[in-house]
Structure 1
């Protein structure tokens, strides 16, 4: 088993001092020297740093020295959902507040595995058959529609379709299958909140590639 120390809810502390912002950022600490752990550390840390830098660009554009500004807020945390030497999955949650009625929170899923002996960040079509995209999307939306809070799916006139990034936003739950994460506004109003839908490998079997980098979990 690989041990990983995760800071669950890193925070950004900002203090306006002499027309400057002092910012402190905290990111997860990883342990594990195997190839998959090393790649995951690099990719997750790079993503969290990029998200923070983009947030600070927005702050600098919005803030005018000498004037009171709306309070700013940023939180970013990574949770390892699956951790083995051959495969790992992470969810990276980011919350940004730049004023207004509420902030915006999103979750991005990142999957890694050994492929032909080398560590690789998996893309959706490494696991699923691209020619089955339409059927995979219909299967996901059919389950999501059973939740009455998915406003956009309850209205047939909207004919909701998933963007490529939305379809690819899932993490691997080991032998139990995969979990799709949907941010607010994707399937319903902001008040409906984010949605999470789990699928077993049995449900996903018609869409899986063969050979598959996750065969260890698909066929234990």
Structure 2
């Protein structure tokens, strides 16, 4: 099983040999060589946009020499090589896998450009040296690779702040919690020759409150341990693969979705392939107060609105209808899931704009829909001027 999985908002790239990876992507569309520098080649379907809107790019308020652009979908795109170097990262190009590797300390991400069979360019970004990551917008214009600003800020611990008046995007750590988040690889717990295991999880350090720090790290490690125990049991039940050429896969990773105002929020990914037509994945949101290390639930953030559960349910129903969910059965599945239960609200993570609720595979939609996600702002649910994070500052 060597596949690029696009699961709605989240993508998973299984660990593959370079040639197999290239062949796999070729079945879905044209592979675009991701050069990372001016003058390199770009395959077949590079964007033909000739007069893109210019965007000024800043790092901590200081302009870099190369400007960005507004992409076809309105996303802010920045020159990958130049912006990464301005962030203090090292940039290399892997000719075998057609990927740009960006590294800064222990944070390492790879960038692979491909097309979806049409003219639209897609960018797949892995996080923290894992096989897991997200898809973003990207373009190559006149030999320069441009990537969605979030594709560079998210993996390396920056926020992107947009100033419309000057068409400027600023990569900044201003306002972020003064902690370090280190990707940590779990020693391979596998005890057989037919399962490939790669487990990465976050460890925080630098927090003044050591007790809170220990509590958060213990919760993250407990999550990983439980996930591995569950997977081991599944492997035992599945038994040895029928084919000697078949390899089981177990991958875990994460991204930091919010790191401000005394709060840290993670989205953790678990992927497993134990035979069959395709693998399965699970998402887990974990949000903590840095004051005391306690887990934060939506109940804690939205408690000033006594009807928030019903309000969110109605917002979700309306959004599912907009996306055609009334026709494909998704709305009915959601109504069944949410009937007399709001347990699905535990599946959330924070973002700069508010919060996102997600649903596991098959929970309300077929496999092809992946893990549906729905994002909200706090203003949609709370009175104007209410700060749900005030208690954690």
Q: TM-score, normalised by structure 2?
A: 0.45
- 1:1-36 superposed Cα distances (whole Å, 9 cap, x missing partner): 3221236x989695845xx97967543343333445
| Corresponding residue for residue 350 of structure 2 | 172
State the secondary structure of the residue aligned to 1:110: strand
Higher RCO, Cα 8 Å, sep 6+: 1
Q: 1:24 to 1:177 in 2, by over 3 A?
A: closer
Distance 1:30 1:134, change over 3 A: same
Q: Which among 44, 57, 69 is matched to residue 220 of structure 2? A: 44
- SS of residue paired to 1:119: coil
TM alignment of 1:7-26, pairs within 5 A: 16=192, 25-26=199-200
Deviation sequence 1:24-63 (CA, Å, 0-9, x none): 7543343333445443322122101110111001212332
**Corresponding residue for 2:205?**
31
Give unmatched runs, 5+ long, in structure 1.
Answer: none
Aligned twin of 2:239: 63
Unaligned residue ranges in structure 2 (runs of 5+): 1-177
Q: 1:198 aligns with which of 367, 375, 379?
A: 375
2:282 is aligned, of 95, 103, 106, to 106
The structure in which a higher percent of residues are strand is 2
Higher helix share: 1
CA contact (8 A) 1:11 1:75 kept: no
Distance 1:16 1:168 in 2: 35
Q: Secondary structure at the match of 2:204?
A: coil
Note the alpha carbon deviations across 1:80-138, whole angstroms, 9 max, x for none: 21124611101111112222221111111111125xx5331012322223842223222
Q: Does 1:120 align with 2:294?
A: yes
Tell me by how many angstroms 1:183 deviates: 2.2
SS at match of 1:28: strand
- What is the total number of aligned residue pairs between the two structures? 207
